Amino acid sequence: MEINNVGYKFVHGGKFSVNRPRGSGDYAILFLRTEAIFTLRGADIQADAQSFILYKKGTPQFFRANGESFVNDWVHFSLDGEEENRITEMGIPFDTPVRIGDISFFSKIVKSMYQEKYSANPLKDETLNLYMELIFIKLAEALRFPSSEKYNPHYGKIAEIRAKIFNDPAAEWTVDAIAETLAFSRSYFQHLYKRFFGTNISSDIISARIERAQYLLSSTDYGVAYIARECGYKNDVHFMRQFKKEVGITPTEFRKENGTLLNSKYKDEQKAPYFIPHTT
């Protein structure tokens, strides 16, 4: 793959049109910020904002504004036959406008590509190819789950909460407090959370704490009681019971199988450090 040219947030007037009977000489992908009209196989097709079209090399490119302006992000690139086949196998259609609900993620990637393309970075070609690969992977994901809740107006806020839970499982997470922060009722918040992620928030809080405990048990010599506190448990007995329920073995047994035995200065709980860096 070779990235030939990149455009980010290009703005044109309402009379803008592109007429390329033989295509652009390479492959091209456009992410639409405004409505547009595409002429494909002799017929005009209206494409909504938040859509994309992936042109195959050699496909005639006829498109125009459908309103007061035409705004898009775009990438022109080259592929070999194997790479083209892989994109097809991923379920990404060529020469057809497809609405994906939200192009903001792709616009951010194209912006990064635009900046990289004109940088002096010695490995920019490798970086650009990785960005393009990411675009195809995320497009395939969006197309594979067209009924996804990702574009629900509340998804972003609740997904951010979920990420915070797994990043900081020791915090005092409660359903009521989170719901109040989002100005949702308890039941509505729980309903949305389950709908978005297929699990309830209480299960995620437990999963986040057990996951962090497994990391600490396998990669540090901190005492079990200390680890319990660092994972949000006020009672180490409760921690050990919940750990065994979730993992199937006790924390000590897990450490024996996956890490180092307790044998350090941190066995003395009073000497354990106050802060443990989060995983990266």
Residue 224: which CATH number? 1.10.10.60
- Residue 278 above 80 pLDDT? no
- Span 41-62, pLDDT tens digits: 999 999 999 999 999 999 999 9
Q: Are strands 2-13 and 69-78 parallel, antiparallel or unpaired?
A: antiparallel
- Span 122-148, pLDDT tens digits: 999 999 999 999 999 999 988 886 555
Tell whether 193 and 117 lie within a shared domain.
Answer: no
Q: Which is nearest to 95 in space by CA: 39, 145, 34, 139?
A: 39
Q: Which is nearest to 9 in space by CA: 76, 71, 63, 100?
A: 71
Of 98, 113, 147, which residue constitutes the final position of a domain?
Answer: 147
Position 188 confidence tier, pLDDT thresholds 50, 70, 90: very high
How far is it, in rounded angstroms, from Cα 218 to Cα 162?
Answer: 24
Q: Which is nearest to 204 in space by CA: 171, 240, 237, 230?
A: 171
How far is it, in rounded angstroms, from Cα 137 to Cα 133?
Answer: 6
**How many structural domains is the chain composed of?**
2
Quick one: the chain helix, strand, coil %, rounded to 5?
45, 20, 35
CB 134 within 8 A of CB 109: yes
Of 85, 118, 147, which residue constitutes the final position of a domain?
Answer: 147
Tell whether 161 and 141 lie within a shared domain.
Answer: no
CB 103 within 8 A of CB 5: no
Of 124, 147, 170, which residue constitutes the final position of a domain?
Answer: 147
Residue 133: which CATH number? 2.60.120.280
- Span 13-41, pLDDT tens digits: 999 999 999 999 999 999 999 999 999 99
Position 273 confidence tier, pLDDT thresholds 50, 70, 90: very low
Tell whether 178 and 108 lie within a shared domain.
Answer: no
Tell whether 6 and 143 lie within a shared domain.
Answer: yes
Tell whether 114 and 40 lie within a shared domain.
Answer: yes
- Span 199-236, pLDDT tens digits: 999 999 999 999 999 999 999 989 999 999 999 999 99
Tell whether 157 and 142 lie within a shared domain.
Answer: no
CB 44 within 8 A of CB 83: no
Q: Which amino acid is at 91?
A: G
How far is it, in rounded angstroms, from Cα 201 to Cα 45?
Answer: 43
How far is it, in rounded angstroms, from Cα 208 to Cα 84?
Answer: 40
Tell whether 66 and 20 lie within a shared domain.
Answer: yes
Tell whether 90 and 140 lie within a shared domain.
Answer: yes
Q: pTM of this prediction?
A: 0.64
Going by the DSSP 8-state scheme, the letter that residue 248 receives in this structure is: S
At which residue do the structure tokens 């989002």 appear? 182
R_g of the chain, CA atoms, integer Å: 25
Tell whether 197 and 273 lie within a shared domain.
Answer: yes
- Span 58-113, pLDDT tens digits: 999 999 999 999 999 999 999 998 999 999 999 999 999 999 878 889 999 999 99
Range of the domain at 138: 2-147
Tell whether 12 and 141 lie within a shared domain.
Answer: yes
Tell whether 177 and 133 lie within a shared domain.
Answer: no
Order of strands, sheet of 43-47, starting from the edge strand that comes earlier in the sequence? 17-20, 61-65, 36-40, 43-47
Tell whether 135 and 254 lie within a shared domain.
Answer: no
How far is it, in rounded angstroms, from Cα 29 to Cα 74?
Answer: 6
